[in-house]
Amino acid sequence: MTSPLFILRFEKNCENGIYYSISVQGSEPPELPQSLFFNSGDYTISFIEPYSGYYQYIIRNEKWLRSILCTTLKIRNREEISIPFSFPDETKGTLLPENPVRVYCDGSCGEGGNGGWGGVVILPGEEPVEISGEEIAATSNRMELAAAVESLLKAEEMMRAPLPVALFTDSNYVIHGVSHRLQVWKRNGFITALGTPVLNRELWETLDSITGRVDLYCVKVDSAENNPHHRRCDELAGICMRRGSL
């Protein structure tokens, strides 16, 4: 299922942790909020009866919820904040559609902030097409995201008819952004759970517009794997990064 927008609200502190409630924004009829206790010592979550209609769905995504709850421990004024969040989209399985456009991408950033990115786009039955670029005052995450965005734009340019697109990346930043974080950021005015502006907003907004036009599947690539296309993206990114430092 596609995740609804949940709202996490502080209820009260106690000696060993924090009580929260989770509600669903815009549900009709309104869903019963799910109460829980988060142990701030061992990070366990205890759900409190009565259970909401989304209880089983929340349980399936408990690792993501734990990550969100750990983030709240960094918020000083959590009593005053309602935190929107969602979980990764379950509507797309791990199996790719037949004959997708394959887009490989990778980014790199040096100690001085010089960054580079590379992409390889392969249409079904056609030869790979390589693209690359560089940027100064960059970060590793920004270059990973730029690689994805620019490679997907190139894929759109090359496609003569709508096709599903498989994006291969080793970046959790990109994958988690596409799968669920972007949805929340949009609804929250591109403000994070910590109340800070989302970094690289213009790239995320471009990626959001792409996902509205393209049937996109994200595939996590193990950077240690010997995939020739991903390895080539890494080489292109490194060349551009080093070129930018000259």
Domain extents in the chain: 6-85, 101-244
Fold of the 101-244 domain: Nucleotidyltransferase; domain 5 (3.30.420)
pLDDT tens by residue, 212-237: 999 999 999 987 678 899 999 999 99
pTM value is 0.82
Which tokens go with 19? 């009580």
**Spatial separation of the C-alpha atoms in residues 80 and 230, rounded to whole Å:** 45
**pLDDT tens digits, one per residue of 159-171:** 999 999 999 999 9
pLDDT, tens digit, 9 for 90 and up, residues 28-44: 677 889 999 999 999 99
Q: How far apart are CA 65 and CA 21, in angstroms?
A: 12
Distance CA 130, CA 105 (A): 10
Q: Cα–Cα distance between 196 and 12 in angstroms, integer?
A: 24
